[in-house]
Structure 1
Amino acid sequence: MEQEKTELKRSLSGLHLWGLAVGLVISGEYFGWSYGWASAGTLGFLLTTVFVAVMYTTFIFSFTELTTAIPHAGGPFAYSYRAYGPFGGFVAGFATLIEFVFAPPAIALTIGAYINFQFPALEVKTVAVGAYLVFMALNIAGVTIAATFELFITLLAIFELLVFMGVVAPGFSWSNFAANGWAGSATFTPAAWSGIIAAVPFAIWFFLAIEGAAMAAEEVKNPTKVVPQAYIAGILTLVVLAFGVMIFAGGSGDWSLLAKTDKPLPEAMKMVVGQSSGWLHMLIWIGLFGLIASFHGIIMGYSRQIFAMSRAGYLPSFFAIVHPKLKTPVWAILAGGVIGIAAIYSDTLIQIGGITLTSNIVTMSVFGAIVLYIVSMLSLFKLRKSEPNLLRPFKAPFYPFFPAVALVLAVLSMLTMIYYNQIVFGMFVVLFVISLGFYFVTKKKRLTQTDLLLKPV
């Protein structure tokens, strides 16, 4: 099969990009977040989620300025490169890869858990690997096909979340939601702050990866107009869904039973309608679309990041090869899949301190995301000073307040995550050091390449 290095094709509409922005994240409404209840309780986690929602809303309104000013497949990698040069690009690129390469195995494991819920004979990890094979193939088939499929399943996933809220609403009770809602206590005590802070990574999971839509900027028609519309509509959609799902699930019964499961929504619905209800089985099957939307979208995101970093000389050059007919970065798609499948089977490395494998993969992905958010906001401030005349089709509202709020909250999130997840953070640092070695080894090669990212757009 003949392959060549070339540019990506602009073929995506604004609706495609909205579907991608929401689809990248929407699995976070289906699982992952409920682990936050284990430490914070329902009321404590509600506070954590408000904190994180403010961070994401101010971040997205600020991040959109960078996306429209520098529409590049590298996304945050390109913005930080532009602001701080090659090392800044490396830090942002590494963080983005950690976020987008480690999120899919967590989602794949949950897809496996959902299928196993219906067919216990099917082993969770086997299903997870099968999901990788199917959706890597779909991403290789073509970006328009992939994005149209993403939009379709995202709409189904949103519909299913609304159905979930409607079905459990008759069984909702605020007394259920608030029972021992302060880190296992009926009343707030200073000790509850510890659980509230420890739950930050699981509230982030509600919104994690929305910034990945920026990596499709080179494939969007009229990105300066479309990107702001898609991002703003996307974050508003996700905020409404996140709070709705969390509150309705918590009020359905004994929320403590949902705090350590990969499938909180089916378990919550079972409390209201029973094990044999047709609604429950519908949620299992249609609910898979939410997981698939994020899984499929993040594969698209990580492949564009690997492609962009390879094109800039930060990764082996063959990852930047684009199929001459399909116009997709085949090797970049496959590379992220190999790492993800390895993570699925790395129980001894990732299952730490009795905490579930999925929970630790989520935490590792969130570490990458928070570093990415910090570097992106610093890049915005730097570019405002170093390139005041850069064309900015969309400017962050309430500058410098919005990006400053996003930056401060991201730094606070990072500090708390390090304190409560020291072993996973240690693994994050080890991966960074290994990547840093490759960065210095390839430095001379990069110096021979045209520095496109530092030129005005």
Structure 2
Amino acid sequence: MTGRLTRRQAVGSLVGEAEGSSLRRSMGVTQLTLLSVGATLGTGIFVVLGEAVPEAGPAVVVSFVLAGITALFSALSYAELAGMIPGSGSSYSYAYATLGELVAWVCGWCLILEYGVSVAAVAVGWGQYVNELLDLAFGVTLPETFSAPPGAGGTVNVPAALIVVLAMVVLLRGAKESAVVNTVMVTVKIASLVMFCAVAFTAFHAGNFRPLFPLGAAGMSAGAASLFFSYIGFDAASTAGEEARNPQRDLPRAIILSLVLVTVLYVIVAVAALGAMPWKHFAGTEATLSEVLVRSVGGGSLWPILLSVGAVVATTSVVLTVQYGQIRILFAMARDGLVPPLFAKVHPRTGVPRANTVIVSAFIAMLAALVPLGSLADATSIGTLFAFMLVNLAVVLLRRRAPQASRTFRVPLSPLLPLLGVACCVYMLTSLGADTWIAFGTWMVAGLVVYGCYGIRHSKLGRQTHEPAQESA
């Protein structure tokens, strides 16, 4: 039994599967970079300053850099492994090659939690931003009965389900078409943030940054811990390995470029916001960027309307790209036999796993429409951090087990930087609350039941290792 749980896929086998994939290769480095930016640059920057600035003061600018450096440890590991194993499974596949089938299943199950529940949570946020935009622009809002789930004052959250279905329609058209739509949306949300900075800098006061560390180094560190989750999503490009034209070259570039771009945008936005409004005024604010412009620049409802448009587009892009990643990870798990083969069936005309896309989208739409996510959404952070931790460990192990394997990118100062990535993930995990751990534990128990009842019996690797023994007998 121990041998069955720890059996590993050979790196060469994973690379061969990726090279012979039935998915269509249509993405270059620009589309891959924007895929990761689309998944990362979401609603967080529009509201996160209201939570982080009271913790760190003006030093939140340094907090963004520190959080970015923390994410960089894992990004470097993702870059090495994505160039080495350019498949659709992301960290699930990396774990399969290094830590064995059971750990790979746990990692894949974590990714299902991270991607699936986070899409539902972002879809709920999309509905809230649409309501805000309708209120600002036309003075109307959707009835709560049809814009909130049971338990939150409503009956069904129609807007949240609607955006998931619209994303499904785009994804069914093909990876190339989805990438074009995402490129347009990422351009719009970057333009909205650039607009915010341009307007906010007209009210800039350097004195707002004195003192820079009013709450000390501890406050700056607390701000960085809160802001780390604004960087989740940079690994999205690693799920597109089988739809990239030159994955070994472009995937590492896309992962690093997306993280650098997002970090630069976050820092500039933070400098503009703090320069325009004293840090003590951020406490208790929700639509933080809108409030900065209203308080410091004026202009009535024009700027909040434009920023709300940007927020709606930002959340739409996140729903599209994260939903895409969820579908590709299930595709890889189905090809390995750990989930039903229906999830790996590709439509011959569009090159899209159609049944997979429809099933996943329907499940997420129901979750978004009917479930008040609450602390369950926080469990996505655990799923993400476990995946990051395993990726960092995989780099260290593969340097030992497959030192001659082709690597188009190598993490510098290995194993130091990957181990620092593991340490950062462990630190972030210890900061999560008990409710989050309970939700995660429940999800893991369910996952182990599914693996015990289906995955271990239908594993493709298990059949391959068992067949010779049968023949010799």
**TM-score bracket, shorter-length normalisation:** 0.7 to 0.9
What's the counterpart of residue 215 of structure 2?
A: 188
| 3-state SS, counterpart of residue 101 of structure 2 | helix
Deviations for 1:11-60, whole angstroms, at most 9, x for unmatched residues? 11111111112111111553452363387243465554333211111221
The amino acid of 1:340's aligned partner reads: I
Deviations for 1:336-360, whole angstroms, at most 9, x for unmatched residues? 3344334435656x435xxxxxxx6
Matched, 1:310 2:322: no
Between the aligned partners of 1:220 and 1:152, the Cα distance in structure 2 is 19
Matched, 1:210 2:234: yes
Between the aligned partners of 1:44 and 1:343, the Cα distance in structure 2 is 38
The amino acid of 2:77's aligned partner reads: S
Q: CA RMSD in A?
A: 2.8
What's the counterpart of residue 444 of structure 1?
A: 457
Between the aligned partners of 1:9 and 1:380, the Cα distance in structure 2 is 28
Q: 1:27–1:294: 8 Å Cα contact kept in structure 2? A: yes
Structure whose CA Rg is larger: 2
What's the counterpart of residue 267 of structure 2?
A: 243
Q: Specify which of 81, 87, 110 is matched with residue 95 of structure 1.
A: 110
Matched, 1:149 2:176: no
Q: How far off is 1:312 after superposition? A: 1.5
Between the aligned partners of 2:256 and 2:323, the Cα distance in structure 1 is 22
Between the aligned partners of 2:384 and 2:306, the Cα distance in structure 1 is 33
Q: How far off is 1:128 after superposition? A: 1.9
What's the counterpart of residue 303 of structure 2?
A: 279
What's the counterpart of residue 195 of structure 2?
A: 163
| 3-state SS, counterpart of residue 16 of structure 1 | helix
The amino acid of 2:79's aligned partner reads: T
**Cα distance change of structure 1 residues 14 and 111 upon mapping to structure 2, 3 Å threshold:** same
Q: 1:34–1:202: 8 Å Cα contact kept in structure 2? A: no
Q: How far off is 1:264 after superposition? A: 2.6
Between the aligned partners of 1:109 and 1:261, the Cα distance in structure 2 is 19
Q: How far off is 1:82 after superposition? A: 0.5
Deviations for 1:290-344, whole angstroms, at most 9, x for unmatched residues? 2222221111111111211122122222222222211112233233334433443
Q: How far off is 1:282 after superposition? A: 2.3
What's the counterpart of residue 65 of structure 1?
A: 80
Q: 1:114–1:263: 8 Å Cα contact kept in structure 2? A: no
What's the counterpart of residue 252 of structure 2?
A: 228
Q: How far off is 1:387 after superposition? A: 1.1
What's the counterpart of residue 393 of structure 2?
A: 378
**Cα distance change of structure 1 residues 176 and 101 upon mapping to structure 2, 3 Å threshold:** farther
Q: 1:206–1:242: 8 Å Cα contact kept in structure 2? A: no
Which moves more between the two structures, 30-39 or 422-431? Answer: 30-39
Between the aligned partners of 2:299 and 2:448, the Cα distance in structure 1 is 51
Between the aligned partners of 2:176 and 2:418, the Cα distance in structure 1 is 33
What's the counterpart of residue 432 of structure 1?
A: 444
Q: 2:160–2:369: 8 Å Cα contact kept in structure 1? A: no
Q: 1:105–1:343: 8 Å Cα contact kept in structure 2? A: yes
Matched, 1:111 2:126: yes
**Cα distance change of structure 1 residues 122 and 42 upon mapping to structure 2, 3 Å threshold:** farther
Between the aligned partners of 1:201 and 1:100, the Cα distance in structure 2 is 21
The amino acid of 2:335's aligned partner reads: R
**How does the TM-score come out when normalised to structure 1?**
0.85
What's the counterpart of residue 50 of structure 1?
A: 65
**Cα distance change of structure 1 residues 171 and 223 upon mapping to structure 2, 3 Å threshold:** same
Identity, % of aligned positions: 22
| 3-state SS, counterpart of residue 206 of structure 1 | helix
The amino acid of 1:163's aligned partner reads: M
What's the counterpart of residue 356 of structure 1?
A: none
**Cα distance change of structure 1 residues 108 and 201 upon mapping to structure 2, 3 Å threshold:** farther
Residue correspondences, number: 427
The amino acid of 1:157's aligned partner reads: K
The amino acid of 2:292's aligned partner reads: A
Deviations for 1:373-416, whole angstroms, at most 9, x for unmatched residues? 10111111111111111111211122223212222111111122
Q: 1:58–1:406: 8 Å Cα contact kept in structure 2? A: yes
**Cα distance change of structure 1 residues 329 and 267 upon mapping to structure 2, 3 Å threshold:** farther
What's the counterpart of residue 355 of structure 1?
A: none
Q: 1:62–1:403: 8 Å Cα contact kept in structure 2? A: yes
Matched, 1:130 2:162: yes
Query: Please, which runs of 5 or more residues in structure 2 have no aligned partner?
Result: 1-20, 136-140, 148-156, 466-473
| 3-state SS, counterpart of residue 242 of structure 2 | helix
Deviations for 1:70-120, whole angstroms, at most 9, x for unmatched residues? 011001100000111211211221222221112222322222222111224
